[in-house]
Structure 1
Amino acid sequence: MAQSGKRLGTGKRDAATKLAEHRLSVLELAGELGNVAEACRRRGLDRTSFYEWKRRFQTQGFEGLKDLPPVHKSHPMTTPPATVDRIKDLALEHPAYGCNRLEALLALEGTRVSSITIQKILNDSGLGSKYDRWLALEEKTAGKAIDLTGEQAAFIEKLNPCFRERHVESGAPGELLSADTFFVGNLKGIGKVYLHAVVDTYGSYAFGFLHVSKQPEAAAAVLHNDVLPFYRNLDLPVTAVLTDNGREFCGTDTHPYELYLDLNGIEHRRTRVKTPKTNGFVERFNGTVLDEFFRVKMRETFYESVDALQADLDAWLVHYNTERPHLGYRNQGRRPIETINLFVSQEA
């Protein structure tokens, strides 16, 4: 151990030097004893570390026995804080944009950041998904008056259930009704059963008539027997009906459904071709009645007639219209009948 003299010196020694001298003393003791295990036992060092320090001492001398300086916490390729802030700002300005589009926006500003890095930054900031960005934008704007861009407003309205139906507007009960035919299922000994549904776009008040056919006469029957009498009792006119382009609703001038609407002075509006979702009120009702009524009742009860199923449906419609609270910008937690009665009382 000829290099042991390198540990000697005068003056104040730092902790790193003292630690290196301790390690060197273990190497020296092992040389004196001729027994590595005994030297390690006496000085409290494991043999694996002994051979590592011995290798470093042979190659680097006394300096090799000192601990290496800590790795710097910031990587030289770390994204600058200003760029991170800009990425978060862009994510809130364009909450519907994915990382590839954000990468392109940054490139237009002269900043090159990969989409993978952008996704990591957004994940670390709690903005990793569109839903997260929507919530952050909503929280940021809550409680203070700011001007949202058209894109931001459209994005919030798309995800907020209070705005989902705003593609269909009506100013009064009966002004615009949504109608649709919904296949319920097969009843043993009866065959296919269809629900002819009508929903008021003003407050989601719903009507339903079960029939074994999709014929225009059945579609008109729910209007004649249920819908028009209901609005006559309230002294409210039925102005228009919105349907898809199904054969039970559309046809020539002699089509029974078209004739019935014409005789009653009701305008017939149609959804765009191949876009039944534009008739959103009744589409939403179809999903609700399927989940809350048909899938429950038709597992509990064996129906031998359409009339029996209609009786249970009528009872459920009473619950839906007069007992069950509804969300949406029209009802805002009220029941459909409350929304209609509120309009009638204000007009009186």
Structure 2
Amino acid sequence: MNQILTKEQREEILSYGSEYGISSACRKYSISRTIYYRWQRRFEESGIEGLKDRTRHFVPVNKLTPQVEETLFRKVAEHPDYGPLSLKWLMEEEKIYISSSGVYNILKRYNLSRRTEREVFSSRNRKKRPLPTDFKASHGQLWLCWTDERTDLLPDKTVYQYSIIDVSSGISCSRIYNENSCTFALDLLLGLAIPMGKELLMNPERIITPRDKIYTALKPRGEHPYSKTLKSMGIRQIQWDIDFKDFKGLADEFSRQSHIFLNTRAESCRDMEELRSNLQNFLRQYNLEDPLTSGPNKGYSPLENVRRSVNQKINLPLWAYLDRQY
């Protein structure tokens, strides 16, 4: 499809894709999935007006300003595994429009066209701490999330434990699913972590996520469902960094204790429902009774830390004490 389409025609294509599937729409109208997703993103952001044709004036590589190259180098340092197309998208977020081939030419000129070269460049040039040097997580402000693969909790079955923990208090929530999917990571975030956080007077400003396809994939973060959800809630996403060793200790402690608790009951555990019930029993013990051995408020149980932070006798919501199906 070479002709320029009107915004109404593009909306019609999106409607067709919504009803009959994206693949069908792309075949019927002879467009690529990339174009479809681009229009879909514009429509979600700006409605039908976002589907207007955009005339962009790409700057020839030999006329690029030093500021443009500096911006690209900064993006490379932050995302060394991104290729020219993904870097192009990141540049557009900075209102800099350059073709993917233009990005590639710059990378090649500075010996950054290979991923290994960009990784070396990143290790030398990226900022060492994505958090301010004087940053201290206060109550409910900074969360960690991650996924653990478990192969020894059910006979001949691999399951995935999704977890979120508040760095300050240690309050944790976790669920087990039989697949490794962004859908389940969002289910934990939106179905459990955010509601429980509100009950405990938490307002997360930042969430640290693994550099994994479940949370970020290998494309610009704004394009990923998990990242888009955080952005819509005004929460900044930060990827795991080697400097987060103190935070990682908190996550490692939770994973270790939950694994021990579940493993001791693995022989008598018959199915997923019983496994999930065991996990909920562990969470009640962990959040209410067990003192933390790492983190900024070790020596107290997570709920005690919450009460100390808000200076009132706050409790977990009633549903946190019940075995709920999910």
TM-score by length of 1: 0.46
Q: Which has the larger radius of gyration?
A: 1
